[in-house]
Chains A and B, each alone.
Chain A
Amino acid sequence: MSGETSRRVFLQTTGAAVLGIGCGIPLVRALASEIEDEQGTGPRWAMVVDTRKCAETCGKIDGSPPCAAACHRIHNVPTKIEDPKEEVKWIWTEPYEHTFPGRDPKYLSDDLRGQDVLVLCNHCENPPCVRVCPTQATWKRDDGIVMMDMHRCIGCRYCIVGCPYGSRSFNWKDPRPHIEEVDDDFPTRSKGVVEKCNFCSEKARDSADGTWTPECVAVCPEKALIWGDISDPESELRKTLAERFTVLRKPELGTRPRVFYLV
């Protein structure tokens, strides 16, 4: 074997081995990993938004409703980003027609036309964002919350592409200079990761019994937001669902949102 041939063989073998390991190991590990059981036995969190109460309370407020302002304040959401294309938001309002598209806008009842509806992550029972994420940086917890792991997110934005509700925001630039006032109790994000509502799961940290009330629910003066355990038939949330007519955003997609709307 000539010197050139053996060198070539060596380089080829090394290259092939590196690439083979690069492809093979992830495949084996993926096949070996367990499929997570989505049904836990503990609470499963959900929310009801009473849009009429919302309209009565906040219908005349310019800008962010208090629930959104409070959420964004405690979660260090960079609200000072002016460019709507780079906006980061966890909870905000959209006109009724945009939130529930498909209804004939011409014959919509007067009070619903143009009414602001609160939107946030739906914490779907069958979340497409979780299905598409290539690193499990977003996943569904046993308590139903669709979580983000900011340490793992590679910023591919596939979850934003997969979300039918526009609930996710990407940090197009370093968010820190655009935060009104940094709350030291909650981390900020860095540029290049996706973020969204987490149902205030960080509040479990200081809770004795493992339950908590999200900030938006707590600050609403009219109790327009009902929060609770959807697996508990005695919860206020379940009773509301049993007694009143609620709608979901795009239910036909089968994502099974866990944010319900009273209209």
Chain B
Amino acid sequence: MIEKALGGTRRYWIWIVVLLAVIGAGTLVYLRQFQEGLTVTGLSRDVPWGFYIAQFTFLVGVAASAVMVVLPYYLHDYKAFGKLTVLGEFLAIAAVCMCMLFIFVDMGYPTRVLNIALHPTLNSLMFWDMVVMMGYLVLNVVISRVTFSAEQRKVAPPRWIKPLIILSIPWAVSIHTVTAFLYSGLAARPFWMTAILAPRFLATAFAAGPALLILICLLVRRFTGYDVGREALKKLGVIVAYAMSINLFFILLELFTVGYSDIPEHLEHLKYMYFGVGGQSTLWIWMWASGIIGLFSLVLLLVPKLRTNETLLALACVAVVVSIWIEKGMSMVVVGFVPNPFHEFTEYAPSASELTISLGIYAVGILILTGLLKVALDVRKHKPKVV
């Protein structure tokens, strides 16, 4: 079965080689980081976490979003998602792998990373994050393998898989909740210390993840002819519309509480994020862009006539992913550190090394996804035309 990933058209192989080249570049730069330390990043004593941890956070959301196809299909027997669920699970597997790599490259002493498992610490959310991520990876690998091979042999999946599938639903929620707890339980960082951080993370996850899934489905259909069906795409579009609306609502809730209560310690972060007050960075421009792109996507998503147009749906999905990526992948982590505990403003921008390593990790994720999809689609052979 796995050997299906090793046979393909010229175009498939060019794609693989490009990905391997990016991974190679990322690996080389990582080796330099390994030699010289995290000094090659743009991080500092005031902004100790940055691009890597932000990508991790964004991708946990992508991983968790698989639940948005699993839940309707398995709990509500929503047949239209039948051809989609395995794609969602594969996306989750690729995303979890990227998450782990982003955590790994962020470690100052990577050769000791197993200490998290050797000296388990219940009071550390990082320990719990490792537990839930590993668990989620195992669940998704097992579920997708078992259901897929049953489908292939045209038999019903074994009965024991059903409890695992049901377990995977709250588990998906848990991975993003624990990731939010990583931030929201810290008295030191008022910007993150909000009880709706976890719901906000889930809202952005359930918007960006399915949006990404729609885009992947469209790409897959374009290049392989494998079609998940218009019905499924339409329904995913509705899910994105809801989640994006809730996300906007949550942002407004945050703005109200922080703005109306007017506590400087909380407000300063928002002022920095949206107006650059106190700092010199251009992050606020990105944040406005994120807001405007997000609103634009919402218009496209909320009007049924626009949403059901596949080109516009694709455009809306790109806008959703970009808007949320800016918020989660660029700003959310960094703004928590500016100003610092001494109320000083230290700027952060990822270095070229950081970006190259991150690109390499994304390439690993895309490679994993490509390989899994190749195998699955070749086996399904819904259309004889392969990649």
- A and B, direct touch (CB closer than 8 Å): yes
Known: A30-B120, A31-B122, A152-B112. A85 touches B134 (CB 8 A): no
Q: Does A162 contact B (CB under 8 A)?
A: yes
Q: Does A171 contact B (CB under 8 A)?
A: yes
Pairwise interchain contact A19-B134, C-beta atoms closer than 8 A: yes
Pairwise interchain contact B124-A23, C-beta atoms closer than 8 A: no
Pairwise interchain contact A173-B36, C-beta atoms closer than 8 A: yes
Q: Could you give, for residues 111-144 of chain A, a 1 whenever the CB lies within 8 Å of some chain B CB and a 0 otherwise?
A: 0000000000000000010011111110000000
Q: Does A210 contact B (CB under 8 A)?
A: no
The answer for the CA separation of A63 and B120 in the assembled complex, in Å, is: 42
User: Which residue of chain A lies nearest to B336 when distances are taken between CB atoms in the complex?
Assistant: A161
Q: Name the A residues within 8 Å of B356 (CB-CB).
A: none
Q: Does A166 contact B (CB under 8 A)?
A: yes
Q: Which of B37, B46, B118 has the most CB of A within 10 A?
A: B37
Instruction: Give which listed residue, B115, B120, B145, contacts A152 with CB less than 8 A.
Output: B115
Q: Does B198 contact A (CB under 8 A)?
A: no
Q: Could you give, for residues 320-364 of chain B, a 1 whenever the CB lies within 8 Å of some chain A CB and a 0 otherwise?
A: 000000000000000001001111101000000000000000000
Pairwise interchain contact B187-A164, C-beta atoms closer than 8 A: yes
Instruction: Give which listed residue, B45, B107, B127, contacts A26 with CB less than 8 A.
Output: B127
Pairwise interchain contact A166-B116, C-beta atoms closer than 8 A: no
Known: A19-B138, A26-B120, A26-B127. A85 touches B108 (CB 8 A): no
Instruction: Give which listed residue, B115, B125, B134, B337, contacts A132 with CB less than 8 A.
Output: B125
The answer for the CA separation of A84 and B342 in the assembled complex, in Å, is: 14
Q: Name the A residues within 8 Å of B9 (CB-CB).
A: none
Q: Taking the nearest CB of chain A, how far is it from the CB of B110, in angstroms? A: 8
Known: A134-B127, A156-B107. A192 touches B37 (CB 8 A): yes
User: Which residue of chain A lies nearest to B132 when distances are taken between CB atoms in the complex?
Assistant: A23
User: Which residue of chain A lies nearest to B44 when distances are taken between CB atoms in the complex?
Assistant: A85
User: Which residue of chain B lies nearest to A152 when distances are taken between CB atoms in the complex?
Assistant: B115
Q: Name the B residues within 8 Å of A165 (CB-CB).
A: 188, 341
Instruction: Give which listed residue, A15, A26, A87, contacts B117 with CB less than 8 A.
Output: A26
Interface residues of B in 103-136 (CB under 8 A from A): 106-110, 112-113, 115-127, 130-131, 134-135
The answer for the CA separation of A99 and B341 in the assembled complex, in Å, is: 9
User: Which residue of chain B lies nearest to A160 when distances are taken between CB atoms in the complex?
Assistant: B48
Instruction: Give which listed residue, A131, A155, A255, contacts B124 with CB less than 8 A.
Output: A131
Q: Does B19 contact A (CB under 8 A)?
A: no
Q: Taking the nearest CB of chain B, how far is it from the CB of A210, in angstroms? A: 27
Pairwise interchain contact A154-B38, C-beta atoms closer than 8 A: no
Pairwise interchain contact B187-A154, C-beta atoms closer than 8 A: no
Pairwise interchain contact A101-B343, C-beta atoms closer than 8 A: yes
Known: A135-B121, A170-B48. A154 touches B109 (CB 8 A): yes
Pairwise interchain contact A86-B45, C-beta atoms closer than 8 A: yes
Q: Does B205 contact A (CB under 8 A)?
A: no
Q: Does B189 contact A (CB under 8 A)?
A: yes
The answer for the CA separation of A98 and B342 in the assembled complex, in Å, is: 5
Q: Name the B residues within 8 Å of A19 (CB-CB).
A: 134, 137-138
Q: Name the A residues within 8 Å of B126 (CB-CB).
A: 132, 134, 156, 158
User: Which residue of chain B lies nearest to A21 when distances are taken between CB atoms in the complex?
Assistant: B117
Q: Count the A residues whose beta carbon is within 8 Å of the partner chain — how many? A: 62
Known: A30-B122, A128-B186, A191-B108. A86 touches B44 (CB 8 A): yes
The answer for the CA separation of A4 and B119 in the assembled complex, in Å, is: 39
Pairwise interchain contact A152-B119, C-beta atoms closer than 8 A: yes
Known: A136-B121, A192-B38. A170 touches B134 (CB 8 A): no
Q: Does A1 contact B (CB under 8 A)?
A: no
Q: Taking the nearest CB of chain A, how far is it from the CB of B154, in angstroms? A: 15
Pairwise interchain contact A253-B134, C-beta atoms closer than 8 A: no
Q: Which of A30, A102, A162, A169 has the most CB of B within 10 A?
A: A30
Pairwise interchain contact A135-B116, C-beta atoms closer than 8 A: yes
Q: Does B142 contact A (CB under 8 A)?
A: yes
Instruction: Give which listed residue, A154, A171, A172, A253, contacts B43 with CB less than 8 A.
Output: A172
Interface residues of A in 154-197 (CB under 8 A from B): 154-158, 160-166, 169-174, 190-194
Q: Taking the nearest CB of chain A, how far is it from the CB of B32, in angstroms? A: 12
Q: Could you give, for residues 80-115 of chain A, a 1 whenever the CB lies within 8 Å of some chain B CB and a 0 otherwise?
A: 000011110000001001110110000000000000
Pairwise interchain contact A173-B109, C-beta atoms closer than 8 A: no
The answer for the CA separation of A131 and B117 in the assembled complex, in Å, is: 17
Q: Does B39 contact A (CB under 8 A)?
A: yes
Q: Name the A residues within 8 Å of B43 (CB-CB).
A: 172
Pairwise interchain contact B36-A4, C-beta atoms closer than 8 A: no
Instruction: Give which listed residue, B119, B137, B189, contacts A135 with CB less than 8 A.
Output: B119
Q: Name the B residues within 8 Å of A3 (CB-CB).
A: none
Pairwise interchain contact A166-B341, C-beta atoms closer than 8 A: yes
Q: Does A218 contact B (CB under 8 A)?
A: no
Q: Taking the nearest CB of chain B, how far is it from the CB of A168, in angstroms? A: 8
User: Which residue of chain A lies nearest to B135 when distances are taken between CB atoms in the complex?
Assistant: A23
**Beyond A8-B1, A161-B188, A173-B36, 16 extra complex contacts between A and B, CB < 8 Å:** A4-B1, A16-B142, A23-B134, A23-B138, A84-B44, A102-B265, A132-B123, A132-B124, A134-B121, A135-B112, A135-B115, A160-B45, A161-B189, A166-B340, A166-B341, A173-B39
25 A-B pairs in the complex with CB atoms less than 8 angstroms apart: A8-B1, A23-B138, A26-B118, A26-B127, A84-B44, A85-B44, A86-B39, A86-B44, A101-B265, A131-B123, A134-B115, A134-B121, A135-B119, A154-B109, A156-B106, A161-B337, A164-B341, A166-B46, A174-B36, A174-B37, A191-B36, A192-B110, A193-B108, A253-B188, A255-B187
Query: Which 10 A-B residue pairs are closest in the complex by CB-CB distance?
Result: A155-B108, A192-B108, A85-B44, A30-B120, A164-B188, A191-B37, A26-B120, A134-B126, A173-B39, A192-B109
